[in-house]
Structure 1
Amino acid sequence: MAGVLNDKKPIFEQIKDWISDQIIDGTLEAHDRVPSTNEIVQFYKVNHLTVAKGVNQLVDEGVIYKKRGVGMFVAPDARGVLLDSRKESFVSEYLKPMIDEAEKLGFSTQEIEGLIHEMEGNRNGE
């Protein structure tokens, strides 16, 4: 069965995120072999150039490295690089807009914190 992609973001970004998620959650660790471009093409049933674009971005970011004739591997500090990048994105894409909107609505910092704790409780089944 082929992997499942969606229309919410470009395919190359989804492939990049798929590999990144495996590094962040520990499925792939430093120096582990990353699936080859051809393996990813077969899994997702997408164009080779699309896969290569996502993979090459990870190489450019220093998350994975290539060994000619051997394959692609997770860089030693890949998890840290990805976490730093995702934290920055989280702040700019989610947290800042949320705080801006909360301020427009007149929420105090304490009310926002209370809502966050309430949501955490709901997630944890409390």
Structure 2
Amino acid sequence: MILNTDGSKPIYKQISEWLETEILSGNIRTDEKVYSQYQLAEMFNINPATAAKGLNLLADENIVYKKRGLGMFVSENAAKIILAKRKGQTLQRLVEELVRESRQLGVSEEEIVEMIRLENRKCKGEEK
């Protein structure tokens, strides 16, 4: 992974999202130790405090848990938490964009709902 340092997203959030992806892909499993702040700092050439902030973000969300003196480990429900969080964030952003754009175009709520239903049927293979 290459960090985006242009300022659009804080580095600590990029670190936490990278770790989430590692968990979702199965590269780091339940109850397995995650990288330490020092390992992350070395891997990405960042300040250890920045890496720690990314790890603490995951701990605050119960994606990882701390074992005193041993480090951080992947929680049992980590994948479920990550999936729910990502679905919520992504879908919410898309809905906000859809509503904003439809207002600018003068598209009614009913038209949007019908468009969604039609697309859903297409995806299910009911219509071509």
TM norm structure 2: 0.77
Query: Structure 2, unaligned stretches of length 5 or more?
Result: 124-128
Deviation of 1:71 after TM superposition, in Å, equals: 2.1
Aligned residues: 117
1:46 equivalent in structure 2: 46
Paired residue secondary structure (1:34): coil
Distance 1:71 1:97, change over 3 A: same
Moved over 3 A (4+): 109-118
Distance 1:47 1:26, change over 3 A: same
Query: Structure 1, unaligned stretches of length 5 or more?
Result: 121-126
Amino acid at match of 1:65: Y
Larger radius of gyration: 2
Higher relative contact order (CA 8 A, sep 6+): 1
1:123 equivalent in structure 2: none
Matched residues in 1 for 2:30 and 2:56: separation? 18
Matched residues in 2 for 1:97 and 1:113: separation? 18
Aligned-pair identity (%): 32
Deviations 1:18-75 (A, max 9, x none): 0011112222221111111111000000011111111111111111012122221100
1:4 equivalent in structure 2: 2
2:56 equivalent in structure 1: 56
Paired residue secondary structure (1:33): coil
Deviations 1:85-117 (A, max 9, x none): 112112222223224423543273444565688
Matched residues in 1 for 2:121 and 2:10: separation? 34
Amino acid at match of 1:54: G
Q: CA RMSD in A?
A: 2.3
TM norm structure 1: 0.78
2:29 equivalent in structure 1: 29
Distance 1:115 1:101, change over 3 A: farther
Paired residue secondary structure (2:9): coil
**Would you say the 8 A contact 2:37–2:49 is kept in 1?**
no
Amino acid at match of 1:87: K
Matched residues in 2 for 1:18 and 1:63: separation? 13
